[in-house]
Amino acid sequence: MRFLIPALAVLLSISSPAIAAPLDTKHIPADTKWLVHIDFDALRESSLGQQLSQDLFAGRGAGAKFKRMQEELGIESTSDLHSVTLFDTRFQRHHGLMMIRADNLDLQLMTEKLKQKQSNLSVTEYHGHTLYSWTRAAGKKYEHEVTGCLYQSDTLLVSRDIDVLKRTIEVLDGTSESLSADSPLAGPTTPGTIMCVRSKGLVTHDLQFRSAFMRQSNRFAMSLGERDGQVHLHAELDAKSEAAAERFGKIVESFRGIGIARTSSDEASQQVFEGLSVTVNETLVEANWEMSPDDAQRMIAAMKKHRQQRYLRYRMRREKKAMEARAKREAEAATKSQDTAQQESSSKDNAE
């Protein structure tokens, strides 16, 4: 699913189609533990998406990767892509299922591309649907099997877990249960929502993640969208304990305070951080952040610059360590060579 990441990052500027693609939990299996949904129609309608798309498509990177994904899926126009949804029935890295909703997906083109790249492609049938399976990174450390299914001409399923894919087919067929209306993962999204993230039951599982945030949470929900000319970010977290909830609330407040302090000379940037609020009620933590699309664009640009600087520092540290290790090896080799020369000299003197 590596090609999903560019899809999440790309913001499209082409005019949106008449059909919107908000989250539909009737397509999600009942035992799902987490989900992420990106509504590309809402994204295209947003001012933020229209602004950022120009930068993202200007050169290489996410835009080029998305273009390659578009060609492999047979999507003729970027306006044909409606939504991408990820979900899984367990918490495991590099796992889960991806559902792509798009117009006019080209099955023939996709299978031709697969056959060109995957010599081990196998084809099976499940409940009248054709499944295509292949092995990625064959013979390497991260070797894994992937299965795909074009459920309908507008719905593509891809997963590393064929059982989750089969269960999703059953849900779409109406022969298996979907998320119940009272599930923490269910419920409608507000108009203008671009992305939503939901998870439940985090602390009841033996998580492989180091994040204290995930280990101390029972439920988490986040939504990002634009409405009434403003970008809205809303997050809810049900903590494991009231003490944990207080800690999470203080973290958000500290972030807000640091942001205000660091932008004291820039009134516009300061107002962005002042738009962040957090409330704690027993174990429930709620955060709301509101800003203009222009402010959101500036913040994203600042975050990108910060990430690039961190990566540069990381590269410099690695290069420094590599140089130190190389110098150490060279010094050890020189010392060993000198010791060997002294031993040979000593042996020669003794022989004489």
Dist. CA 344–CA 102, nearest whole Å: 76
SS in 3 state form for 100-141?
A: EEECCCCHHHHHHHHHHHCCCCEEEEECCEEEEEEEECCCCC
- Long-range CB contacts (within 8 A, 24+) of 110-118: 110/72, 110/73, 110/74, 110/148, 110/150, 113/72, 114/148
Res. 16: pLDDT tops 60: no
Q: At what angle do helices 47-56 and 293-351 cross, to 10 degrees?
A: 40
pLDDT band at 350 (very low <50, low <70, confident <90, very high): low
Q: Which has the minimum average pLDDT: 1-5, 54-58, 128-132, 151-155?
A: 1-5
- Pick the closest to residue 180 from 346, 335, 32, 44 (CA basis): 32
Q: How many residues comprise the chain?
A: 352
Q: Which span out of 17-21, 32-36, 139-143, 267-271 was modeled with the highest average pLDDT?
A: 32-36
Q: Domain extents for the chain?
A: 1-19+26-186
**Token couple for 27:** 């397509």
The predicted pLDDT at position 163 comes to 92
Dist. CA 39–CA 196, nearest whole Å: 9
Res. 20: pLDDT tops 50: no
The predicted pLDDT at position 71 comes to 63
Summarised one tens digit per residue, pLDDT across range 178-204 is 999 889 898 888 888 999 999 987 765
∠ CA 261-216-290, nearest 5°, is 40
Dist. CA 215–CA 60, nearest whole Å: 37
- Pick the closest to residue 201 from 24, 26, 32, 25 (CA basis): 32
pLDDT band at 173 (very low <50, low <70, confident <90, very high): very high
CA atoms within 13 A on the CB side of 212: 5
**Token couple for 12:** 């499209």
With a pLDDT cut of 70, the percent of the chain lying above it is 80
